[in-house]
Structure 1
Amino acid sequence: MLDANMKQQLQGLLTNLREPIELVSSLDDGAKSAELAELLDEIAALSDKVGVSRADDDARRPSFLIRRASNHDVAVRFAGIPLGHEFTSLVLALLQVGGHPPKTAPELIEQVAALGGDYHFETYFSLSCQNCPDLVQALNLMSVINPRITHTAIDGGLFQAEVEARKVMAVPTVFLNGEEFGQGRMELEQIIAKLDSGAEAKAAAKIAAKDAFDVLVVGGGPAGAAAAIYAARKGIRIGIAAERFGGQVLDTMAIENFISVPHTEGPKLAAQLEQHVKDYDVDIMNLQRAEKLIPARQEGGLHEVQLASGASLKARTLILSTGARWRQMGVPGEDAYRNKGVAYCPHCDGPLYKGKRVAVIGGGNSGVEAAIDLAGIVAHVTLVEYESELRADAVLQRKLASLPNVKIITSALTTEVLGDGNKVTGLAYKDRNRDTPHQIELEGVFVQIGLVPNTEWLAGAVALSGRGEIEVDHRGETSQPGIFAAGDCTTVPYKQIVIAMGEGSKAALSAFDYMIRLPVKAEAEAA
């Protein structure tokens, strides 16, 4: 199951085990159970602190429990074979159950340990989902810290009948004590906030007490991270407030055009960006959504950013790098069936549609790539494009045309997502050439029609283009002195990671240049 290189790396990591652990399996006679048994034996062979046994005490098979030998309350369970994107989750679970301390803020560990009540979490993931590991790892850690918390991570692609019975149509999906708790990417702070009603108020009070920053970066994607690093190197007071550190990069599967790095994946790059920022003296405020901007009344004054938590942050200069999000079709049924057949991430949710019929909306590179990926999983893909021809690169179009289970429909206007009240059952569209309506029977719709900037909260504060992008000059400055912007939320063309990083760096240098040229009187008033 593990190649020689993986075994060598894992063997080295297992030397960090402080206490013996046990791998307790529940198996049947199937091929997947045989694979899991082989994997567990391979792991156990790498360390004398890892034991393996078979108990068949869990209804889900194959599954296994990782438990501390000296205290069975410290345990994590996986249903399935956690390889692919979940291999890191497996390694961390082995280490943490074995007593290796997590790299988590002490205050978060204290909050988890203090949670009262009994919490049984179940998370459905797919091995190709890049957003699932963070959630799986957070809940695994919680179950290690607090004995009244348990967690089972379930491979939805392997337990299809269970997925359909519980109407899981997007990953990750979490159940708490049998009831749906949440869907989509969640970090430890978010989970704690949902369980501890006072957590958000405490965080808001802590933020409200902060002094004004020299530079405040709003947004934690590539542009925001680059801006924070460049500004911090100037030795000034820097803060970064982000709704989710990494931004859209977290939803990107393969990155092959980041100069000097032939291949990487979004979550890996996002983690590297965050670690690079942490190498500097930057005050990182994650999970903070900006709701209103109040520009300074006079040049050199303090700008104010009001957050959804109720707290406010002030700064001499701002760098807005709030990025963009998936564009929606805006048709009836889209919102009603979101995560019930309407999806935006083919890599994450594709395995849940194995053997089913789906549609992909959009004929650009993203749409065609999604259709190609899905064609290897689902029974049939219908690609629906508004224009008269696809807009994707020729090499992608040739690959798509070669697939036998793909149909391409052009000059088509999607008019409605159809459903039975619980899930998607079809798609309605209009032939733009003949003005005739059509319907397609299917179980899933993957929307891939581009991005929309996250700038609604800035209306009236800075100048926006007709597309909602922040208007910036060649220095990255907005219509308000001392407020700069960078990345996908701006009018700068070509929304690419490498361009966003460059623009973020430029905005930071411009912000610093702006500050050092302020009159001494203005600086004194701002202070």
Structure 2
Amino acid sequence: MLQDPIKTQLKGYLASLAHPIVLEASLDDTSASREMHELLHEVAALSDKVQVSETGQATRRPSFVIRRDGAKTGVTFAAIPLGHEFTSFVLAMLQVGGHAPKIPDDVAAQIRALPGPYNFETYVALSCQNCPDVVQALNAMCVLNPNIHNVTIDGALFPDEVAARNIMSVPQVYLNGELFETGRMEIEQILAKLDADAPRRAAEKLKDVAPFDVLIIGEGPAGASAAVYAARKGLRTGLLGDRFGGQVMDTAGIENFISIPETDGPKLAAALEAHVRQYDVDIIPGQRAKELFPATQPGGLHGVVLESGAVLHSRTVILATGAHWRHLGVPGEEEYRNRGVAYCPHCDGPFYKGKRVAVAGGGNSGVEAAIDLAGIVAHVTLLQRGSHLKADKVLQDKLHTLPNVTVLTEALTTRIEGNGHNVTGLTYRGGDGADHHIDLEGVFVQIGLLPNTGWLKGTLKLNDFGEIIVNDHGATSIPGVFAAGDATTTPYKQIVIAIGEGAKAALSAFDYLIRVPAPAPEKLVTA
């Protein structure tokens, strides 16, 4: 089941286990149980500190618990954790076996203090690149606090549960039997939902942070690049955001990042974070900016108010806030979100196996989504509101080879329809001006991005699309404030371009600082 190179690597990891662990399986006579049996025994054969027990009494079968030898609880998988969840499996074994999760000490203390009981059920798809972040966060919390339990459930193995809970989007997390959250979450976001006092403590922690030379808002490619370049110039650098990688985390295959022929979003995001952490950068996770107060004099301190209530100050600011998926804005879209309306074909596509779906959008994202979904669903209808597709020719050529894809141009989606529970159809206006109906069970929206700049309106100059207007140096309309990446007017929203623009913004900030002397001390902005 596991290839030899993976076995060799895994054997090296397991050699560092501090305590013996048991993989306690609850199996039946299904093929999935036989596959789980094979995986667990392959892993156990790599280390004398790993044993397999098949005496588990869990009601979900197949499933297994990773527990320390002699302990009663541990980390549970009702899944065969391959694909994107293999890393979650390996980390869980190491953490149960004595390796402390790599999280800040204050966050670990906060987790240990939670009273519980918290019984999480996390539904995933093995093809979902966002699911592992949630799984790994909850598993780490289980290791730190015996009052917290999490079971990772592969929806494909338990279709009856998926149907009963009407799960059509992952990751989807239940807490003590009630829906807790849908979508990707960092451990700080989970804690904020469990601990009502967490935002206040986060703001209190930041109260005495000294002003930065450069404060970068956004942890995507542009923000990461800016942080590396600023730190290399010896500037006191801060980097804040709610998730490392930004929109990259929602990207499956990346084949146009020069020098790396093929990778995926989570891998690239991890590489960006690892690179930033090699430098003296003050990383402030799980935070979002709410308001920008420009400096009152050249070279003075800008104030940035966060949603937590904290206020940070910096002589220069680099805005790298990125973008988010654009919505159709038609009746039915919000009503049926996560119940037939989806935005991530890689994450949610498996829930539409054998069904009829539509993809709204004829650019690269839309055509890539249609190609991916065609291998899973019964039929894909691709709707492009213009007269022709805008995707790269290589993608269009592939699309036209697929027998279960229909392409409709001059097709404007006007309504998503449902039965009160799930999507049942879609209405579009054709080039003839008439309305047409399609019966289907899912709609994947892939119509481009909107910049995350709403909080900046009225503060600096934006164009009609909400993009931050920048010049050739990445400078905005406010002296000392720069911007980079998908939130700006720079054309072509590409990862490689965002990285270059982030470097440019940092170099421009450095040039600004050496040319504008620091003014006399001034009164700091407060929330």
In 2, the alpha carbon distance for the partners of 1:509 and 1:392 equals: 34
Q: 2:390 & 2:501 partners in 1: Cα distance?
A: 27
**Sequence identity, in percent?**
63
| Equivalences for residues 250-289 of structure 1 within 5 A | 250-289=249-288
SS where residue 72 of structure 2 aligns? strand
Match of 2:506 in 1: 508
Query: Which ranges of structure 1 fall in alignment gaps of 5 or more residues?
Result: none
* Cα displacement (A) at 1:70: 2.1
1:434 to 429, 432, 435: 432
- Find the aligned partners of 2:262 and 2:131 in 1 and give their Cα distance: 20
Deviation string, structure 1 residues 185-221 (Cα, Å, up to 9, x no partner)? 1111111111111111100111232121111111111
1:7 — aligned with what? 7
CA-to-partner distance for each residue in 1:324-362, whole Å, 9 max, x for gaps? 111111111111111111111100111111111111001
| Residue 478 (structure 2) aligns with | 480
8 Å Cα contact 1:20-1:70 kept in structure 2: no
Query: How many residues align structurally?
Result: 524
Q: CA deviation at 1:56?
A: 4.9
Distance 2:330 2:298 in 1: 44
Q: Which amino acid aligns with 1:183?
A: T
Between the aligned partners of 1:176 and 1:49, the Cα distance in structure 2 is: 32
Deviation at 1:90, TM superposition (A): 0.5
Mapped to 1, the partners of 2:243 and 2:517 lie a distance apart of 36
Whole-Å separation in 1 of the counterparts to 2:508 and 2:117: 52
1:42 aligned residue: 42
The aligned residue for residue 76 of structure 1 is 75
1:416-453: CA deviation from partner (whole Å, max 9, x where unpaired): 1111222211111111x211111111111100011111
Partner Cα separation in structure 2 for residue 475 and residue 393 of structure 1: 29
Contact 1:300 1:523 in 2 (8 A): no
CA deviation after TM superposition for structure 1 residue 47, in Å: 0.7
Shift of 1:524: 5.8
CA–CA separation in structure 2 for the residues paired with 1:272 and 1:168:
32
Question: In 1, distance between residues paired with 2:98 and 2:242?
Answer: 32
- One-letter code of the match for 2:158? F
Q: Give the distance between the partners of 2:280 and 2:395, measured in 1 at CA.
A: 44
| Higher mean displacement: 417-426 or 148-157 | 417-426
In the other structure, the counterpart of 1:17 is 17
Report the counterpart of residue 450 of structure 1 in structure 2.
Answer: 448
Describe the superposition over 1:86-139 as per-residue Cα deviations: whole angstroms up to 9, x where unpaired.
000000111111112222211111111110020110000111111000110111
CA–CA separation in structure 2 for the residues paired with 1:338 and 1:70: 44
Superposed, 1:6-405 pairs within 5 Å as: 6-73=6-73, 75-405=74-404
CA distance in 1, matches of 2:272, 2:20: 34
Cα distance in structure 1, aligned partners of 2:55 and 2:435: 57
SS of corresponding position for 2:349: helix
Separation of aligned partners in 2, 1:10 and 1:125:
23
TM-score (norm 2): 0.97
Distance of 2:500 and 2:62 partners within structure 1 = 48
For residues 410 and 317 of structure 2, what CA distance do their matches in structure 1 show? 43
- What residue identity is the alignment partner of 2:405? V
Task: Tell whether the 8 Å contact from 1:301 to 1:526 is kept in structure 2 after alignment.
Answer: no
1:283 deviates by 1.1
Asked if the contact 1:215/1:239 (under 8 Å) is kept, the reply is: yes
Render the CA deviation track for 1:358-402: whole Å, top value 9, x for unaligned: 110011111111011001111111111101222222222222222
- Spell out structure 1 runs of 4+ moving beyond 3 A: 523-527
The one-letter code of the counterpart of 1:8 is T
User: For residue 186 of structure 2, what is the amino acid of its counterpart?
Assistant: E
Q: Distance in 2 between matches of 1:90 and 1:26?
A: 17
Does structure 2 retain, via aligned residues, the 8 Å contact 1:243–1:288?
yes
Which stretch has the larger CA shift, 226-235 or 390-399?
Answer: 390-399
